[in-house]
Structure 1
Amino acid sequence: MLRKGLAIAVLGLALVGGPALAAGSQKEPRTADWSFSGPFGKFDRAQLQRGFKVYREVCAACHSMNLMSFRNLGQKGGPFYDPKYPNPNDNPYVKTIAKDFEVSDIDQETGDVVKRPATPADRFPNPYPNEAAARAGNGGALPPDFSTISKARMGGPNYIYSLLSGYSAPPAGLEVPNGQYYNPYMLGDVSAFWKGKGHAPPGGFIAMPPQLAADKVTFDDGTKSTIDQQALDVAVFLTWASEPKMEERKAFGVGAMVYLLILAGILYVSYRRIWRNVAH
């Protein structure tokens, strides 16, 4: 009787309380033709370099990448990998990039905190000294760390690409709170702010204003710098940062499958030979 009563109670909540407990909605992210998709996919090095430039010149002002070191940029599979420098710490391009940043260090003689040019071994510096400063600089919102953002968000690169390029004017009848921006690809529930007719539109509010603009970043390879291109490129870079060993993992997986197929063939031939004179 107790189980039956609980079942009825749960069913009642599902039917009566469904709308109150319903989660928010969002527009389905757009799907791009990613070069790294599939078992044989690889990152486009030129696109990784463009994506890093978008992160460096736009995103790095607010978003940290605490798990990323400068030398990762020069490792095998990275944006600036050069086979002449198997040790990424020796990569001159990586050294040049690192020197443009300053990191905190300790003076070994005085114990004071000092600033010095970064080296390939240093991690990307955080744009804010602490969480309180980050929130104060962004209207109370905490910019998420971008080290694994592609794996942390459902939809991965498609979500990042769609969100960054998908800002639009709010539909008529939607009241946007101060300090917030409407984005149809942002998961949320805007029903409390919907004054129009019919169902509330998909999407949600985000504290980050639109960050990309045409020609905001100049690409060294001459690629046209549209909002769509910038969003695509930075999505690829953040996907690589989330899984920098993806190409090696795929190569190992393909090799393992080939090995298993050969082993299966050898075992089948051996089985047939050993048991060929035995009645079954």
Structure 2
Amino acid sequence: MAATVGRICGARLLKNYGLVGPQVCQLSTNAQGWTKSRKLLLSTLGVIGGGAGALLFALEQSVDASGTEAHPYHQPWSHNGWFQSLDHASVRRGYEVYKQVCKACHSLQYVAFRNLVNVTHTEAEAKAEAAEVMIKDGPDEEGNYFERPGKLSDYFPSPYPNENAARAANNGAYPPDLSLIVLGRKGGEDYIFSLLTGYTDPPAGVALREGQNYNPYFPGGAIAMAQVLFDEAAEYSDGTPATASQLAKDVSTFLRWCSEPELDDRRLMTIKAIGIFSTLAAIVYYYKRHKWSSLKSRKLAYKPVSKK
């Protein structure tokens, strides 16, 4: 519209309106009216911005390639893609792996037992899982703390009372909380899977201190956590063969769910939003064509007044 008004002004059709003409002509967005210096400035800024972005990308890739740790392979997870959901059977098996293997050292302080309901367990099963844990509560009327069976509203308790106790039990190493570990590590579940299955003997020239193990996927290679996943290291309630890779795959999927428990709901909402906004876009486009068709198809003719 602004370009059309500019062309009208350029044709001097509004020359009799001295105040309106210059103001309307300023609305033109035609690039032909730009000065040479302005075009040069904008071109320079575009080249500099694109070059800076390419440089940052190249530097990030070079830094990753220059690291000493191995890069995890991308696994064909069933929840890859915008419209794929988590494998809930795998999430349940991953919870069993965490309960039988990982729970002894690692906590899930941001996950509550109620989060398991209708995801991996029924409400009754989740209540039974919570009741197996003793939660420190209080104080009571006499000011004493006591222990009680867990409830759905309770969060997974830490295996250690504090950080110092955790370090003392693990030769000075502090086992990290696993609630957000997938989001907190580059590579996500690919990194977790590769780390759990990547233990090997240290190469020649690499010296490890007592209590350390070699894992090429861990930064520096020396990790305090020993290999914990072996064939039949845990038992599945559904009878799935508990190989080391299966255990690592399931617990990685479970930890992905712990980091994003709303993942399935968010993707389902994305599908709904795409459908709703697609319909609204079609309606708005039709309404726009309906309203503007008469204006865009009309013809304007300029008939100068004849001099008599």
Q: Distance in 2 between matches of 1:225 and 1:244?
A: 25
1:6 — aligned with what?
Answer: none
Q: Distance in 2 between matches of 1:259 and 1:121?
A: 35
1:233 — aligned with what?
Answer: 250
Answer whether contact 2:85 2:267 (CA < 8 A) is retained: no
Q: Normalized per residue, which structure has more helix?
A: 2
Out of 145, 151, 167, the residue aligned to residue 113 of structure 1 is: 145
Out of 163, 178, 187, the residue aligned to residue 131 of structure 1 is: 163
1:79 — aligned with what?
Answer: 120
CA displacement 1:67-125 (0-9 Å, x = unmatched): 11111111x5x212x4xxxxxxxx11011111111111125133222222111111111
Q: Distance in 1 between matches of 2:115 and 2:125?
A: 12
Number of residues paired by the alignment? 233
2:295 — aligned with what?
Answer: 278
* Runs (5+) with no aligned partner, structure 1: 1-21, 83-90, 189-203
Structure 2 length as normaliser, TM-score? 0.72
Which residue identity does 1:98 align to in structure 2? A
Q: Distance in 1 between matches of 2:74 and 2:167?
A: 32
Question: 1:27: how far off?
Answer: 1.0
Q: Which runs of 4+ in 1 moved over 3 A?
A: none
Q: Percent identity?
A: 42
Q: What value does the CA root-mean-square deviation take over the aligned residues?
A: 1.6
Q: Is 1:37 aligned with 2:80?
A: yes
Which residue identity does 2:290 align to in structure 1? R
Question: 1:23: how far off?
Answer: 7.1
Higher relative contact order (CA 8 A, sep 6+): 1
Out of 231, 250, 266, the residue aligned to residue 267 of structure 2 is: 250
2:109 — aligned with what?
Answer: 66
Structure number, greater radius of gyration: 2
Q: Distance in 2 between matches of 1:220 and 1:260?
A: 43
CA displacement 1:172-230 (0-9 Å, x = unmatched): 23212222111011122xxxxxxxxxxxxxxx111101111110101111111011110
Which residue identity does 2:82 align to in structure 1? P
2:134 — aligned with what?
Answer: 102
* Runs (5+) with no aligned partner, structure 2: 1-64, 298-308
Which residue identity does 1:62 align to in structure 2? C
Q: Is 1:156 aligned with 2:188?
A: yes
Q: Distance in 1 between matches of 2:231 and 2:256?
A: 23
2:41 — aligned with what?
Answer: none
Structure 1 length as normaliser, TM-score? 0.79
